[in-house]
Structure 1
Amino acid sequence: MAAPSAWSVPQLTYGITPPKVSMAEPRRRSVAAAQSERIRSLPVDALVVYDLQDESSRTDVERPFPFMRAIDPLDYALDYLEVPQPKVVYRSVSGHDAASLGAWLERLRSAGGATVLVGAPSRSQSVSLRLSDAYAVHEARSPDLPLGGVLIAERHAARGNEDQRCLRKVERGCSFFISQAVYSVIASKNLLSDLVYRCQDEGREVPPILLTLTPCGSKKTLDFLAWLGVEVPRWLQNELAHAKDILSTSIETSVAAFEELHDFAAQKGIRLGCNVESVSIRRAEIDASVELVERVAKILGR
C-alpha cells in the first residue's frame, strides 16, 4: 500500500495536544500562535497532534488529572497552526462511524498529512467503530494517506505479542509506528529484539519506529504516567521522586535511554527515530521538551 511520493517517514517529531473545548477562541488563537512560533524553530521532520480520549474505562484507579475534552486535532492542525512541517494527526476511532471517519481521513490526505488510528482504551468500552473497521475505512476511502500504528512495550511485557500485533497492522496498511512514552529501556529492548527476529524469520523488513520521550516535571506527572500504563522502573521512580530537580533528572534519563536504544536499534538494522512530547501547559516542561528535541537531534546526527 504505497504512500504518496512526497511522504517520507519522519525521524524526529514533536508531539502536542490541542486546546480544550472550554478554552475561549481568542485564547486558542494565542496558544496556537505561540506553539507555531516554537515549532517552526525546531529541527523536527513533522508535527504530531494527539487526539485525547478518556481512558478511565481502562482502570479503576482514579485519574490524577481530570479529563477535559479537546478540540478536534485535525481542526487544530489545519485551521490554527502555521508551521512548515507536515502533520501526523491521531484519530481515536471508537466514537465515530465509517462515514465521518472517511471524510476526516480524506481531509487530512488532501492536506498532505499522515494519521495514526487508535482504538478504544479497553475491551469493555462500548464502541461505534473498532480499529479493524477503521483500517478498512482507510483502505476504502484514503489508501494513499500514510498510516501509522501505536507500539506499546508494556503491552508486550504483559501479553508477549506486540511484535505480532505490529506486523498485523503492517498488513492493514501501517507504514510506521509511534511508541507509548518510554521510560523502561529493558521493556523497549525486549520488544525491539522480538520484533526484529520475527521479521527475520518471516522475511520482512522492520517498519520505522519513533520512540516517544516525555518530560516529567512533578510527582503528579509521574503518577499520571503510571495511570496511563507507562512502565517507570522502581529505581527510576525513586530517583525522580527524590530528585532536587525532577524535570532535569527526567531529561537526563530520557536522553540516556534514547541513546542506548538508538545504538541497540542501529546494531539490529532498525530505523529508530524519536517523538518528543510536549503535552504540559507548564512553561518549565515546555522548555524541557525543546531541550530534549535539541539533544535527541544531536544523537541523530543533526
Structure 2
Amino acid sequence: MFLNKIRKKDSGILLYGITPPKSQTPPEKVAAIAEKTLERLYALDIDALVVYDVQDESARTSEERPFPFTSALDPFEFASTHLHSLEVPKIIYRPAGKFSKEELADWLHNLTQHKFYPVFVGLPAPDFQVKTSLKEAYELWSLHKEHSIIGAVTIPERHAVLNDEDVRMLDKMNSGVSYFISQCIFNVEYARKAMESLVASCQNKNIELPTVIFTLTVCGSVKTLQFMEWLGIHIPDSLKEELINSENTVEKSVSIALSIAEELINYCIDKNIPFGFNIESVAIRKEEIEASVYLINKIGEMLSAKGLRKRPNVLTEA
C-alpha cells in the first residue's frame, strides 16, 4: 500500500499523474474519457494515481501563456465519481488558500472517507487573497493523521534561485508532510543540488529524510516545450536543442526522461534518499499518452533491476 511504503521509507514508488477533463466537457464525454483513462490505468503497475488541480497561473508572470487557459473539473469529484473502480490510492492536489476552513475541513473529511490523500499546492498568484493559510490547512489535516499521509510539492528551480528549498521542505515536514512530489525534472543538476541541501539539513538536525518523488513527463512539441518553460521548468540549453532539432520530439523526450531517471536512481541510492517517480500524462494526443505508458513501464523495469520493485506478474501461454 502507498501509505505503508511512505511510512516505511521504501524506495521505488511509482505514481502516474493526470488532469481531469475540461470543465465544459459534456457529461457523456466525461464518462467516455474516464473509461479510456481507466483502460490505460488498469494495465499499469503503480502505487497511486495523482489527479492535479488545474489553475490559471497567468497572473504569476507578464509573459504570454503559450496555450490559452481552460478550467478543468474538480479533481476529487472526477476521481471519486469516475475512477472509483481503479483500486489504487488517489492523490488529490488542492490550493488550500482558495477555500475557507469549513470548506477545507469538509473536503479533507470526504477525502479520508474515500481513502484519498491530499497535496496542498500554492496559489496561482502572489497577491491572491488567502482564505486559509497553509499552516491552518496542515492543522486541519492533522485530525486525520492516524490513517492518512500528506504530501507537498518541491521545486528544484526555486532552490537554484533562492537556495532555501531544504528549509521550505523541513518546515512542511514539521507540519506532518512525509513525502514530496517534484515539479517536472529536466535539469537533473538542479534536482541534485536541492537534494544535497536537503540531506545536509536533515543530517544537521538528526531527522529522517522524507520520500522524494521526481516527476518526469513527455514533451510532444516545441510549443509544449515553450509552455513548460512558461510554467517555470528549467530545460538546459543542450536538451532544448536536442528536442527542437529532433525528428521525433516525443521519442527524444522519452529518451531524455529515461536518462534523467537513471541518474536520479543512482544518486538517491548512493545518498540513501527514499525516492520514486511520478510520470505525468497531461497531454491529449494519443502518441504522447502511449509514450507516457511506455515511460512508466521502462522506469518500473529500471527499479525492478535495482531490487526496488517486484516485477509484475505476466501471464504467458503454456
Normalising by the residue count of structure 2, what TM-score does the alignment of the two structures yield?
0.91
Per-residue Cα deviation, 1:108-163 (whole angstroms, up to 9, x for no partner): 11111211111213322222223222212222x43333100101000000100001
Aligned twin of 1:41: 43
Residue 248 of structure 1, aligned match among 247, 251, 264: 251
Indicate how the Cα distance of structure 1 residues 237 and 5 shifts in structure 2: closer, same or farther if over 3 A, else same.
closer
Identity %: 39
The verdict on how the C-alpha distance between 1:67 and 1:100 changes in structure 2, with shifts beyond 3 A counting, is: same
Give me the whole-angstrom Cα distance separating, in 2, the residues matched to 1:129 and 1:53: 17
Q: Match of 2:232, as an amino acid?
A: G
Other-structure match for 1:201: 204
> Structure 1 residues 232-241 or 4-13, which shifts more?
4-13
**Residue of structure 1 aligned with 2:15, choices 9, 13, 16:** 13
Q: Which segments of 5 or more consecutive residues in structure 2 lack a partner in the other structure? A: 7-11, 305-310, 312-318
The answer to whether 1:159 aligns with 2:162 is yes
The change in CA–CA distance for 1:259 and 1:5 in structure 2 (over 3 A counts) is closer
> Which one of the candidate residues 229, 249, 253 is aligned to 2:232?
229
Name the counterpart of 2:28: 26
Does residue 186 of the first structure (1) align with residue 189 of the second (2)? yes
C-alpha change, 1:233 and 1:70, in structure 2 (3 Å) is same
After TM superposition, the structure 1 stretch with the greater mean CA deviation from structure 2, 128-137 or 174-183, is 128-137
Shift of 1:285: 0.6
1:257 has 2:279 as partner: no
Structure 1 stretches lacking a partner, 5+ long: none
**Residues 176-211 of structure 1 deviation map (CA, whole Å, 9 limit, x = unaligned):** 110000000100010111111111111011100110
Q: 1:95 Cα deviation (Å)? A: 1.6
- Residues 1-302 of structure 1 aligned to structure 2 (within 5 Å): 7-9=4-6, 11-81=13-83, 82-139=85-142, 141-144=143-146, 145-301=148-304, 302=311
Change in 2 beyond 3 A, CA 1:6/1:295: closer
Structure-2 separation of matches of 1:46 and 1:6: 10
Query: 2:192 and 2:274 mapped to 1: Cα distance?
Result: 14
Shift of 1:5: 10
SS of match in other structure, 2:182: strand
Over aligned residues, Cα RMSD in angstroms?
1.5
CA–CA separation in structure 2 for the residues paired with 1:119 and 1:240:
30
> Aligned with 1:128: secondary structure?
coil
**CA offset at residue 54 of structure 1?**
1.0
Residue by residue over 1:204-247, the C-alpha shift from the partner in whole angstroms, topping out at 9 and shown as x without a partner, is 11100110001000011000100100010011111101111111
Separation (CA, whole Å) in 2 of partners of 1:227 and 1:133: 30
State the TM-score, normalized to the length of structure 1. Answer: 0.95
1:72-98 per-position Cα deviation (integer Å, ceiling 9, x unaligned)? 111111110121111111112222111
**Structure 1 residue runs of 4 or more that deviate by more than 6 Å after TM superposition:** none
How far apart, in 1, do the equivalents of 2:131 and 2:57 lie? 16
In structure 1, the residue matched to 2:307 is: none
Q: Following TM superposition, by how much is the alpha carbon of 1:6 offset from its aligned partner in structure 2, in angstroms?
A: 5.8
2-side partners of 1:297 and 1:152: how far apart?
Answer: 24
1:242-287 residue CA offsets vs partner (Å, 9 max, x unmatched): 1111110000000000110110010000011000000011111100
Alpha-carbon contact 1:153-1:162 (below 8 Å) kept: yes
Aligned equivalents of 2:3, 2:95: Cα separation in 1? 25
Q: Which amino acid aligns with 2:186?
A: Y
